[in-house]
């Protein structure tokens, strides 16, 4: 049963400020060298009509994200989720996160593992 | 992962390591005296378990192979990068001998004590300077243009500083029933979520946005906040005061201000003589009257009545109908009649100069947008305006700060829940002199303060800002007038790579000095010019405490790295050597002494971890002016000369400076210098924050450097195309002072007419010795910015706005 349950990360990117905490939290937790890690934060600047633009940051879990199994086993939040400065990341079963996702725009649900 | 042999030490972030102005509760995981991990403390009300990238990278910082681990003595020439290891005893002896020789020959004021941004250093650098006998504690930025000037300016008009309200005063934070969510927050020149400047946690604003707070952003750049704002006012750098005056204009014209507050709590009703343009004083009204008291006109009886500033009340009877707006004729003792008008009318006359269409001309923000944003802010209740260092980085910062404070006050948002709340040091624990407090650590006599550089010229230095003038100090190193400067103690400061504008001039200054000590954690361009370099520690390696606003908290020593010593321990030892009367045997004794107002010892506070001032304490909000909690005499009112919020600043009048807010065009803009604009058509701005770095720090931390690997210039794609510059290509930024090389980042977040150059750049991986000096002479944007253009009151300087031209770097220059 535990095998079947998929977990994921729900990210409210409206509030992601691009603080890079998640990226470094993961590197610290697993000792990844610079340039590697379970999370990469990207900056996206989208041009809008009338000379306007919108600045977004977008955390992307990489091949190296193990969804913090060693932490969650112990009842801890994933390192990135706990430290996220904007408190815009949630960890949980994908079904539950999908329900939450339906409540609000500008959300992304990752299920890296 | 917690293992049985790992100890978890709860502590507070402040200074080296985090770099920021601190306040986060963290848990340091220590194994065998080594930091293995840092986590945010979920129980700490400040950050609730969150943490920034810089603190999460602390394992790479504390155990960095390049950390200075022993005292060093220079063996080659300055800038040659040759050092010899010495013991602490040798270092202390050498410093004692050299500095005492300077003191004996030239007097203690001949040593400058230079510190960087206000972290866990000012009490201890003051302690050292004062024990030595020098009043010349110097913040190295031109015009001291960071925070101190804002503090001084706000204190001038309202007697206390104020900040946005994220319920940081209460342990239960947003759940505390006393708190209200701001309806609107104006974020003025502030990218606070990157690096949390000014003793606040930037993401509190994001917490409040999630709860519904709407944002107005004042910033030439499209910041993260600007993207999520109801209104984004992308003004031309250096025109902030015109915009603030425009807000006041709309708010007063449309009667959106709090008339009751203006009448009761400001000096709006005080009379100004129309002949002299100055406040009418009691001394003019009656013989034997006090020139520090002012006069109010009672419309009911047609009589002048005296406002007694010391009593913070009317002398005798109070007016039935104090004149708020209008004019009157007052008879003086000799029978002379003088026409007077109220402060309110004088204030409004200035504000009337800034209708939205004129504000559009000055700032570039459309008149409609100015008016709409001003209305939105004024109608939202409660609302806050919070500002960043952009406000300080202009020479006429004081009038700008006055204008913004007047907005807080006149919209009725001062010290109300969710407004701009008065920020006091927790339990009034004041380690060193700050506006409103002389502090526990002082010079031994007022006599010793007399030679402080700039006190005779810049009056805020006598009242609010107990440092010397940076710009005049630099000049004095060369002129030796009125006395020579012979040595410099540099601690938590990077005068060459960070703080110093015109760094070549600073280099010449350092070369001229007889003796220079630098205290740091790593070698930097600045340490290369020192004679002795002392290894300091991160916040994890020291005991200290923090009373910047609320709560009061301790910083707890969790580990030790080789021979590194905390700044305060270094300074404590030397203070004892310099001052035979130094009162304290141990640092903890000194801490206990400073903490007395809180009614607890350092050990007791350490037990608690943090402490919140209770209701009724002057460091606990709200509406303290009504409750008599702001003034030492406990009378209701503000801690200003008149006891009122001063729309017309009495101190500025005394100092011969404009008493009401207004805009002044800065010295190097296309408007003030069209001649220069021909050759240097782009506006050069600097100083935008990176979440990876604190100013010039952290370039050597691999996880952080990977986030922001190169010195970049943000440039609009169209502007770049005009200059044939592609994304990621190297380019030069140049003006009449010099040039620096950057990597182009093409992005529409900057307007076409401006570039934003990253500051604080040097390359720890490059050669330390001159002429490279860690590659700094190629990357340091401060080479394009001047010293010596500080504001009329010595405060503020043109840092955020200059002019430049750009061109692509040749292949040989990359
Ligand atoms: S969930 Fe864990 S492994 Fe995945 S990115 Fe976050 S910190 Fe890294
Ligand atoms: S920690 Fe949170 S706010 Fe920061 S970059 Fe990651 S997702 Fe965004
Ligand atoms: S920068 Fe902000 S999050 Fe980081 S330690 Fe300082 S206050 Fe905390």
Same domain? B443 vs B529: yes
Average pLDDT, chain B: 97
Taking any CB pair shorter than 8 Å as contact, residues of chain A touching chain B are 14-15, 17-21, 23-25, 27-29, 33-35, 41, 45, 47, 53-57, 70, 82-87
What number does the ligand 1 atom closest to the CA of A25 have?
A: 7
Inform me whether the pLDDT recorded for B4 exceeds 70: no
Q: How far apart are CA B59 and CA B48, in angstroms?
A: 21
Assess if residue B338 is contained within a domain: no
Note the pLDDT of residue B411: 98
Note the pLDDT of residue B675: 98
Inform me whether the pLDDT recorded for B1 exceeds 70: no
Assign residue B699 the CATH number of its domain.
2.40.40.20
Interchain contact B211–A (C-beta under 8 A): no
- Mutation choice for A interface testing from B51, B187, B215, B369 by most A CBs within 10 A: B51
From A12, A14, A20, mutation site for ligand 2 pocket: most ligand atoms within 8 A of C-beta: A20
Q: How confident is the model at residue B434 (pLDDT cuts 50, 70, 90)?
A: confident
Note the pLDDT of residue B436: 80
Give buried/exposed letters for B486-515 (b at 16+ CB in 10 A, else e): bbbbbbbbbbbbbbbbbbebbbebbeebbb
Helix (H, G, I), strand (E, B) or coil at B732: strand
- Does ipTM come in above 0.90? yes
CB of B52 closer than 8 Å to CB of B691? yes
Assign residue B46 the CATH number of its domain.
3.30.200.210
Same domain? B732 vs B748: yes
Note the pLDDT tens digit of each residue in B714-762.
999 999 999 999 999 999 999 999 999 999 999 999 999 999 999 999 9
Assign residue B240 the CATH number of its domain.
3.40.228.10
CB of B300 closer than 8 Å to CB of B321? yes
CB of B125 closer than 8 Å to CB of B15? no
Inform me whether the pLDDT recorded for B20 exceeds 70: yes
Inform me whether the pLDDT recorded for A2 exceeds 70: no
CA of B287 to the centre of ligand 1 (A): 78
Same domain? B358 vs B384: yes
Inform me whether the pLDDT recorded for B520 exceeds 80: yes
Last residue of a domain, one of B62, B81, B104: B62
CB of B110 closer than 8 Å to CB of B119? no
Same domain? B45 vs B84: no
Ligand 3 pocket member B22 (CB < 6 A)? yes
Q: Which residue of B has its CA nearest to A70?
A: B1
Ligand 3 pocket member B26 (CB < 6 A)? no
Whether A20 and B227 lie within 8 Å, measured CB to CB? no
Assess if residue B470 is contained within a domain: yes
CA of A19 to the centre of ligand 1 (A): 15
Question: What total of structural domains would you count in chain B?
Answer: 4
CA of B480 to the centre of ligand 3 (A): 41
Which whole-number Å values give the CA distances from B485 to A104, B136, B496, in the listed order?
Answer: 63, 10, 18
Same domain? B392 vs B415: yes
Residue B42: domain span: 7-62
Assess if residue B386 is contained within a domain: yes
pTM: 0.97
Q: Which residue of B has its CA nearest to A34?
A: B703
Note the pLDDT tens digit of each residue in B566-605.
999 999 999 999 999 999 999 999 999 999 999 999 999 9
Note the pLDDT tens digit of each residue in B378-424.
999 999 999 999 999 999 999 999 999 999 999 999 999 999 999 99
Assess if residue B240 is contained within a domain: yes
Same domain? B80 vs B185: no
Helix locations, B382-437, DSSP H: 397-410
From A7, A22, A27, A39, mutation site for ligand 1 pocket: most ligand atoms within 8 A of C-beta: A39
B409 dihedral zone (left: phi>0; alpha: psi -120 to 50; beta): alpha
Same domain? B167 vs B243: yes
Note the pLDDT tens digit of each residue in B210-219.
999 999 999 9
Note the pLDDT tens digit of each residue in B75-86.
999 999 999 999
CA angle B419, B424, B425 (to 5 degrees): 140
Assess if residue B319 is contained within a domain: no
Note the pLDDT of residue B732: 98
Same domain? B46 vs B81: no
CA of B18 to the centre of ligand 3 (A): 7
Assess if residue B44 is contained within a domain: yes
Question: Which protein residue's CA is at the shortest distance from atom 8 of ligand 2?
Answer: A16
Assess if residue B317 is contained within a domain: no
Assess if residue B644 is contained within a domain: no
Same domain? B212 vs B126: no
Cis amide bond preceding B771, omega within 30: yes
Q: How confident is the model at residue B170 (pLDDT cuts 50, 70, 90)?
A: very high
B398 dihedral zone (left: phi>0; alpha: psi -120 to 50; beta): alpha
Same domain? B603 vs B514: yes
B227 closest CA partner among B238, B239, B215: B215
Same domain? B496 vs B568: yes
Inform me whether the pLDDT recorded for B190 exceeds 90: yes
Same domain? B43 vs B122: no
Q: Which residue of B has its CA nearest to A89?
A: B50
Cis amide bond preceding B347, omega within 30: no
Note the pLDDT of residue B285: 96
Whether B703 and A83 lie within 8 Å, measured CB to CB? no
Note the pLDDT tens digit of each residue in B469-495.
999 999 999 999 999 999 999 999 999
Whether A53 and B203 lie within 8 Å, measured CB to CB? no
- Between B636 and B119, the more confident residue is B636
Instruction: Spell out the domains of chain A, with CATH numbers in brackets.
Output: 7-110 (3.30.70.20)
Which residues line the pocket of ligand 2, CB cutoff 6 A? A 11, 16-22, 41, 57, 59, 84-86, 88-89
Angle of helix B122-132 relative to helix B567-578, nearest 10 degrees, comes to 10
Inform me whether the pLDDT recorded for B3 exceeds 60: no
């Amino acid at each position: 049963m535990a095998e079947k349950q998929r977990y994921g990360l729900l990210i409210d990117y409206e509030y992601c400020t691009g603080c890079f905490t998640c990226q470094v939290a993961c590197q610290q937790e697993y000792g990844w060298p610079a340039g590697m890690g379970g999370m990469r934060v990207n900056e996206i600047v989208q041009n809008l009509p009338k000379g306007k633009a919108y600045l977004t940051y977008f955390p992307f879990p990489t091949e190296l994200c193990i969804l913090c199994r060693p932490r969650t086993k112990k009842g801890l939040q994933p390192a990135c989720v706990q430290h996220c400065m904007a408190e815009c990341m949630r960890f949980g079963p994908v079904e539950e996160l999908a329900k939450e996702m339906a409540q609000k725009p500008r959300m992304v649900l990752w299920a890296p593992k | 992962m917690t293992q049985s042999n790992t100890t978890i030490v709860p502590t507070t972030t402040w200074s080296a390591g985090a770099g920021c102005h601190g306040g986060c509760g963290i848990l340091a995981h220590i194994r065998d005296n080594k930091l293995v991990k840092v986590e945010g403390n979920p129980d700490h009300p400040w950050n609730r378990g969150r943490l920034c990238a810089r603190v999460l990278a602390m394992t790479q910082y504390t155990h960095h192979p390049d950390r200075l681990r022993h005292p060093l003595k220079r063996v080659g020439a300055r800038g040659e990068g040759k050092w010899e290891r010495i013991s602490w005893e040798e270092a202390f002896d050498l410093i004692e001998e050299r500095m005492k020789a300077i003191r004996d020959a030239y007097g203690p004021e001949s040593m400058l004590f230079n510190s960087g941004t206000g972290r866990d250093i000012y009490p201890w650098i003051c302690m050292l300077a004062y024990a030595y006998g020098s009043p010349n504690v110097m913040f190295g930025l031109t015009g001291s243009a960071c925070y101190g000037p804002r503090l001084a300016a706000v204190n001038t008009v309202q007697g206390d500083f104020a900040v946005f309200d994220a319920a940081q005063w209460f342990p239960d934070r947003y759940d505390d029933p006393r708190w209200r969510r701001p309806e609107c927050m104006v974020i003025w020149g502030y990218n606070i979520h990157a690096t949390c400047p000014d003793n606040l946690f930037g993401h509190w604003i994001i917490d409040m946005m999630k709860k519904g707070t709407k944002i107005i952003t004042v910033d030439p750049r499209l910041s993260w906040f600007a993207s999520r704002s109801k209104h984004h006012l992308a003004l031309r750098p250096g025109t902030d005061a015109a915009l603030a005056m425009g807000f006041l204009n709309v708010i007063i014209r449309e009667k959106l201000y709090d008339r009751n507050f203006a009448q009761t709590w400001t000096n709006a009703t005080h009379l100004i003589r129309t002949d002299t343009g100055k406040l009418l004083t009691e001394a003019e009204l009656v013989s034997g009257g006090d020139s520090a008291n002012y006069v109010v006109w009672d419309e009911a009886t047609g009589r002048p009545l005296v406002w007694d500033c010391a009593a913070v009340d009317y002398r005798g009877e109070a007016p039935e109908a104090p004149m708020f707006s209008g004019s009157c004729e007052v008879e003086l003792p000799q029978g002379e009649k003088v026409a007077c008008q109220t402060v309110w009318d004088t204030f409004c006359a200035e504000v009337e100069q800034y209708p939205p269409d004129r504000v559009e001309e000055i700032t570039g923000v459309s008149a409609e947008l100015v008016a709409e944003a001003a209305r939105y802010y004024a109608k939202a209740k409660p609302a806050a305006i919070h500002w960043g260092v952009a406000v300080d980085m202009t020479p006429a910062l004081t009038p700008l700060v006055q204008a913004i404070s007047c907005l807080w006050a006149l919209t009725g948002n001062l010290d109300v829940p969710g407004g701009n709340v008065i920020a006091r040091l927790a339990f009034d624990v004041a380690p060193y002199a700050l506006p409103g407090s002389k502090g526990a650590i002082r010079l031994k006599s007022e006599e010793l303060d007399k030679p402080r550089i700039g006190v005779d010229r810049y009056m805020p230095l006598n009242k609010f800002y107990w440092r010397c003038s940076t710009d005049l100090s630099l000049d004095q190193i060369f002129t030796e007038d009125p006395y020579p400067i012979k040595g410099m103690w540099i601690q938590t400061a990077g005068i060459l790579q960070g703080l110093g504008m015109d760094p070549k001039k600073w280099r010449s200054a350092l070369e001229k000095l007889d003796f220079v000590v630098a205290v740091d954690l790593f070698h930097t361009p600045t340490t290369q010019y020192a004679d002795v370099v002392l290894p300091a520690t991160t916040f994890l390696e020291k005991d200290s405490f923090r009373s910047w606003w609320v709560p009061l908290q301790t910083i707890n020593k969790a580990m030790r790295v080789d021979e590194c010593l905390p700044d305060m321990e270094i300074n404590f030892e030397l203070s004892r050597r310099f001052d035979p009367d130094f009162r304290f045997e141990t640092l903890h004794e000194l801490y206990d002494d400073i903490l007395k107002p809180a009614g607890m010892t350092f050990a007791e506070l350490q037990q608690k971890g943090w402490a919140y001032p209770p209701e009724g304490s002057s460091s606990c909000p709200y509406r303290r002016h009504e409750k008599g909690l702001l003034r030492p005499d406990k009378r209701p009112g503000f801690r200003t000369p008149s006891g009122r919020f001063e729309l017309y600043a009495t101190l500025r009048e005394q100092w011969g400076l404009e008493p009401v807010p207004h805009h002044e065009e800065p010295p190097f803009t296309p408007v003030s210098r069209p001649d220069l604009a021909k050759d240097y058509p782009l506006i050069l701005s600097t100083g935008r924050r990176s979440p990876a770095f604190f100013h010039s720090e952290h370039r050597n931390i691999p996880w952080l450097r990977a986030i922001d690997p190169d010195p970049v210039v943000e440039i609009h794609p169209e502007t770049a195309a005009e200059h044939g510059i592609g994304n990621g290509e190297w380019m030069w930024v140049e003006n009449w002072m010099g040039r620096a090389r950057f990597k182009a980042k093409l992005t529409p977040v900057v307007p076409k007419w401006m570039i934003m150059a990253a500051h604080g750049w040097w390359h720890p991986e490059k050669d330390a010795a001159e002429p490279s000096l860690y590659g700094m002479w190629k990357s340091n944007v401060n080479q394009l910015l001047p010293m010596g253009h500080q504001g009329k009151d010595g405060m503020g300087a043109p840092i955020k706005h200059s002019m430049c031209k750009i061109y692509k770097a040749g292949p040989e220059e990359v």
